[in-house]
Each structure stands twice: as C-alpha cells, then as structure tokens.
Structure 1
C-alpha cells in the first residue's frame, strides 16, 4: 500500500493549472481553488473537476448543478490564495471583477479562460466528488500567461522564449 505522505509528495511534482471553481444559488456565491481539473472529451465539450467532500461549499455545488472553471492568469496567485483561505464565501468574491455567462455561475473577468458548465454526473471516489461537467459557454481574456502549481509553489507559464 502507498503511504499518504509519499503520495502527496509525489503529486506535488505533477504540475497543474490553478483554477477557481465557482457556483451560485439563493444562499450566495461559493468557490474554491483547485488544480484537479482536466478535459474529458471535445464531443460534447466536457471537463471534470474534483472537490473534497468535506469542503464547506460542497453541498452548494451538488445542489446547484452548475459551476464555472476560471483558469487563473500569471498575475492571479492572490485570487488562488483567497479562494483557498478561511474567508467566508461572499468575502472571497470581493476580490476580482465577476460576471456571468449562461448558467449564472460567477466568471472571473480577467481569468486566462473561463468555462461555464452544467454538472451532468457526480462520482464519489474516497474523500472526493468528481463532477463531470458539460461546457455551455467559454470566455477568453487577452492574457497569454498562465499560473501553475508545482512543488508546492506558484509558477508562471507562457513566457516568450528569449532568442
């Protein structure tokens, strides 16, 4: 059996895009920072998002059946930290400029790219829920540099190569 600490240390070496995942309902806006996001298929356009079931906003994502994936640009590490902090849900949305697309889930205006999604399936694996999400709208920004998390630190990608 693989030791949990060994697994976490190994996974810290798997570079991942930094995303803020959001939803909304009558109780307000909710969101969290995630690196566990990936494409599933382009026909129909589908993503998967992993979320810890112990997260305080987990129930809102289950009930709402909508979410947005906001892929952070290289200058948005502060947004990632806010959405992984102990701040109350509504306080988190005081940072950044937010809008909506088709589902009503909050979209971060200057994210590298945002995917507006409907949650079509939820699978439980261990401590996490896997949301299978059909993309209904996409918003691109003018930014061309992304934020990634590698070896427990933020890094920028997309820097032009120097000749």
Structure 2
C-alpha cells in the first residue's frame, strides 16, 4: 500500500475537528505564544498532555529553552485571538490582546480561556516537521460557562454551552 500524498493527508486531517488553543511559555515579562490545534491528552496519571509545534516556528526555541508551557483553550468569542497569535505579529503585539496572568509555572495564562493547563515540559520529541512537547499539568483553571471553539474543515465553529452532567 502506498502512503497518501501530502495534500490528500492534509485534506483528510482538515476533517478532524480540534479545539483551538493558544500555547504559551516564558513569563509575563517575556512571553512567547502560538496558535495550535494539535493538542491532546496523553494520560491522567500523572495528568499529561501533548502539543505539536512546527519546527520552523519562531516560537520553537523558547519552548526548547524553557521548562513550562500553558495550553489556553479558546472560547467561541476568541477567534480573533487565534488569528492574532497565528499572524506574523511580534510576541509583544500578540500579548497586548487579552488579560494575562500566571499560575504555578509562570507561563502566561489567558484569563478568559475556557480552560488553561499550566504544565512543566517533561520531554520534547522531534517527529518529521514537528516538535512534540509533553507537558505534565501543574495547575488548572476552567470557566464552566464559556462556549468552546473548534477548527473543522479549515473553518472555525462555535460549540454551544452545555452544563457538565451532575454526578
């Protein structure tokens, strides 16, 4: 069986919906961040997630030099932030939008995010064109009333708010 062409693979992957996130490192004084949809849970013991970052990204070096990353899950009202962090703006310009604080690691945390996963990087594995960063969660913040934002078929889609089921 032949491997699919790159364009066919990308077209098929566009049909895999994903949450839209801003991933950060550094500090509030020297922040670095980018937009990512390639984020997923690895295990809950210890709570670990992974983030994929293109090796050509200008943010890559900061993640390799630092020990922290924070995944900020965007709300349906924050599509502009996704585009802002995916643009060629400087890091200073990127972080001029939104309200930023810090939790356990010191990495920038978006106050208005649906959820924020403040992590210590445990390892980085280079795979093809990307760095796969594994983060062990040190602190969490959630906003239960926010509506989610997903990227599917190369477009943004708002998710309706649904309350968490009661135990």
Normalising by structure 1, we get a TM-score of: 0.94
Contact conserved, 2:28 with 2:101, CA < 8 A, in 1?
Answer: no
Deviations 1:40-95 (A, max 9, x none): 00000000000001100100001012110000011000000000000001110000
* CA gap 1:79/1:151 in 2 versus in 1, 3 angstroms: same
| Greater Cα offset, 18-27 or 77-86 | 18-27
Which blocks of at least 5 consecutive residues in structure 1 are unaligned?
none
Q: 1:151 to 1:133 in 2, by over 3 A?
A: same
Change (3 A) 1:15 1:26: closer
For the aligned residues, what is the CA RMSD?
1.4
Q: What's the TM-score once normalised by structure 2's chain length?
A: 0.92
CA distance in 2, matches of 1:106, 1:26: 6
1:49 is matched with which residue: 48, 51, 55? 51
The one of 28, 31, 35 equivalent to 2:30 is: 28
Matches within 5 A, 1:6-85: 6-24=8-26, 28-85=30-87
In the alignment, the residues of structure 2 paired with residue 2 and residue 101 of structure 1 have an alpha-carbon distance, to the nearest angstrom, of 43
User: Runs in 1 of length 4+ with deviation above 4 angstroms?
Assistant: none
Gaps of 5+ in 2: 163-167
